[in-house]
Each structure stands twice: as structure tokens, then as C-alpha cells.
Amino acid sequence: MPSASGGFDDGVAGIIRGWASVRPELGVEPLEIFGRLHRSYLLYRSEINAGFERFGINEAGFDVLACLRRAEPHYRRTAGELAKQTLVTTGGLTLRVNRLEKAGLVTRQRDNDDARVVYVALTDAGRQLVDEVSDAHFAMLARLLDPIDGPDRQQLAHLLFRLEDSLRAAGAGIEDEAASA
């Protein structure tokens, strides 16, 4: 919450005041954004992970299932397509797909015309689960944003878009690092 001086009075503000006390010459203003972004991210992750756990799945598994669910009409993609859409390497994706296949949520299918091409496809159980999880997940995301009104949400989305652009422009390789996360 903003303090009487116009700033914010939260844990990040306390850290900034601490640095100002011991190192007044240190430019810690970026912490106003990145500190709060990090704390918000941790709270967000905690909420979504708890939501996924209620369905016996994790975020990585949901990511793959959701990507397949959006792949109409056959609900399937090649490993390369999945890797691009889920921002993981094909090696990391293999582990995810193996777990989902073992759980009966996806299958691997050879292409009818080119046997070298293998698709990962949703099973009926996978489609049912991803639909149930998606319903709960997006309702939870909406609940998390309830206190923020429409114009503020739009402004926040715009500023986060600009922040991502700024981060990409600031350092080559950021996209590569994000893709391997």
C-alpha cells in the first residue's frame, strides 16, 4: 500500500530503505519493480501449484496437456511443435511426455504417411483432465485478479508486455534461458 510519502510500505520498501541506509550511493530503484514482481511470482506459483496438485498433476504436465488440447482437430503435435509451444527442450519434453503417457493421459502415434514422424496425442482421459484443470485454473486466476479493476488490469498487462520487451532487448540469450527453464 502507498505510504503517506507516496511510496509503498511493504517488505520491498523495507529492503530498499535498508540499502539506502548502508549504501546510499547504490541505485536500488529497479527493486521497486523486480522485488515486487518476484514476490508476486512466488505467490502466484504457490497458488497454481496447489491448484494443479488437487488434480494430481503439476505445472509442466498441464503445460503439455493444454498445448495438445489447443491443437484441434486431432489434439496432437510433434515433439518439436510441443517443445516450441511449451518453451522447453525436446529432451525436457521427453521426460514430461513419458510421465503423461505412463499416466494414460497421452499416447505416441506414428504418422500414416511418414513413419519417422511421431505425434504426441491426448487420450480421452487426458482431454477430460485438462478440461477439468483448465476450468479450475482459469477460475483461480480470475479470483487472484478480482481486486484489480479492468483499467488497471489492462495497464498492468501493457506494462508487463513492455517489461518483457525491455528484458529481451537488454540481453541476448534471455530468450534462450527462458526456453530452457
Segment 137-150 mean pLDDT: 96
Distance in angstroms (rounded) separating the CA atoms of residues 156 and 172: 25
- The pLDDT of residue 5 is 36
**Per-residue pLDDT tens digits for 28-47:** 999 999 999 999 999 999 99
Distance in angstroms (rounded) separating the CA atoms of residues 116 and 119: 10
CB 125 within 8 A of CB 101: no
The yes-or-no verdict on residue 89 having pLDDT over 90 is no
Distance in angstroms (rounded) separating the CA atoms of residues 88 and 70: 17
The mean pLDDT of the chain is 90
**Per-residue pLDDT tens digits for 159-171:** 999 999 999 899 8
- How confident is residue 8, by pLDDT bands cut at 50, 70 and 90? confident
**pTM exceeds 0.85 for this model:** no
**Per-residue pLDDT tens digits for 50-65:** 999 999 999 999 999 9
- The pLDDT of residue 4 is 37
- The pLDDT of residue 6 is 44
